Each structure stands twice: as structure tokens, then as C-alpha cells.
Copies of this chain bind each other. A is one copy, B any other.
Amino acid sequence: MLPSSTVENYLKAIYLGEGYLAEGQRLMPMGQLAAALGVAPGTATTMVKALAESGLVEYEPYNGVRLSAAGEKLAALVLRRHRLIELFLVRVMGLGWDEVHDEAEQLEHHVSDRLIERIDEMLGRPEVDPHGDPIPGADGRVARHESDTLLTCPLGERVTVTRVTDQEAPFLRFIEQHHLMPGESIEVEARDEVSDSVRLKGRGNQRMTIGMRAASKVRVSASDASSRG
């Protein structure tokens, strides 16, 4: 029995449920899962019990849910399809990076392995999608490397945007318009808790100030002198 779209969406939501890093101890609360999927809490409970039956998750009543090894692999493969499709839509089909997420959300469940392999090949085995999110390999493995956000990176140093962790179209358009897309080199000049804002020096030393909530969604890494001029 191959998994339905619904099952794939549940697994993906659990996989993406916050950090979920190293230690396999963290449980995703049912309420958070239900919210992520836009279903009633009771629906999530019923579904998760079924997923536990089929060995895709471990479920601790009143506590939360966690992916099993099998579930994690499946989730990673769905994510792989999602991100390859996004990149394909941007690079080959010429769609905007702000309009590919919804399309990929559907297609991720319906493209064959054959076609995904072809897409992967055509794109040159890419490692990240248009938003900088890493693309899991065909084996389900992901290269997770730590990175700062605009809230945590050092002040006064050039950094390179690596990832934008919010798929909302208006936010993505904002990022694009202000030249904060992955690959751009920028610098955090100052942060101010009181005004809840971060001041940036962007492309062409253009100054801009954004809120901390927005700043937390832009990930960066130290601008290695060797990369870019």
C-alpha cells in the first residue's frame, strides 16, 4: 500500500515540526500538528493512531507524536520531491520563487520516481531549493548544517544569505524586492530589542530596517572571502 497524499502530508508536517534535530526525543504536540495541517484536533488524533498502527510514527497519548525510522525516510522523500519540483518550476518553467510552493504542495504526491530522477538529473543534482532549503538525497539523507539567522549572526560582518524559512508569497516578494535572496551578501549593522528591529546594509550598501520576526526567517553564513567578489 503506497501512502496517500494525506499520509504524506502528515509525515511531512511532523518532520518539519520545528527543530527536530539530532536527539530523537522530541515529540510534536497533537495541537501543533492539527494546526499545521489545518484539521480539527480530533482528526489528527485519529489519523496519528492509524499511522502508529502502520509503524510510521510513535505515538504517546497526551504527549505527542514522533516519526519512526520508516516514517522519517518517507517524509524526507516527500520533501525531496517537493523541493526538486520547486527548483524545477523556477529554473526550467520560469515561475517566481513566491508561487512555486503551492504547486509543489500538490505535485509532490503525484510525480513518479522516474520523473523525479529526470528532474534531479536535469537540474544537475542540486543541493538546495529556491528558498535555500536543503534537498534530501534519494536515500532520504539530508545535509543539515547549523547556521545563524539575522538575529544571531555577528554584527558588522559581511554574511551571505543562505536560506529563507517562510513560504508565504508576500514575504518572499518582500525579500526579493530588497535583494535579500539566497546568495546575496549583506551585513547586520545593529539590533534593537526595544524597537524590535534589525538594521541592515544590503546590496549597494543600501540601508534598511526590518522587524525581528522577519529577521529570524533569514538564515545566513559567514561570507567566505573566496566566495563572490
Contacts and interface: CB of A to CB of B under 8 A. Distances in A.
Nearest to A102: B112
B118 A93 contact: yes
B107 A95 contact: no
Q: How many copies does the complex hold?
A: 2
A8 to B, nearest CB: 13
Q: Report the 9 A-B pairs with minimum CB-CB distance, sorted nearest first.
A: A106-B110, A110-B110, A93-B118, A103-B112, A103-B115, A107-B110, A95-B118, A93-B115, A94-B118
Contacts of A94: 118
17 contacts: A89-B115, A93-B115, A93-B122, A94-B118, A95-B114, A95-B115, A99-B114, A103-B111, A103-B112, A103-B115, A106-B110, A106-B111, A106-B112, A107-B110, A107-B111, A109-B110, A110-B110
Interface of A: 89, 92-95, 99, 102-103, 106-107, 109-112, 114-115, 118-119, 122
A203 to B, nearest CB: 29
B92 A92 contact: yes
A71 to B, nearest CB: 23
A116 to B, nearest CB: 11
Contacts of A109: 110
A108 to B, nearest CB: 10
Contacts of A112: 102-103, 106
Given A92-B92, A93-B115, A103-B115, 4 more contacts: A103-B112, A106-B110, A106-B111, A110-B110
A139 to B, nearest CB: 23
Nearest to A108: B110
Nearest to A105: B110
Q: Most B CB atoms within 10 A — which of A102, A106, A109? A: A106
A103 B94 CA distance: 22
A106 B92 CA distance: 21
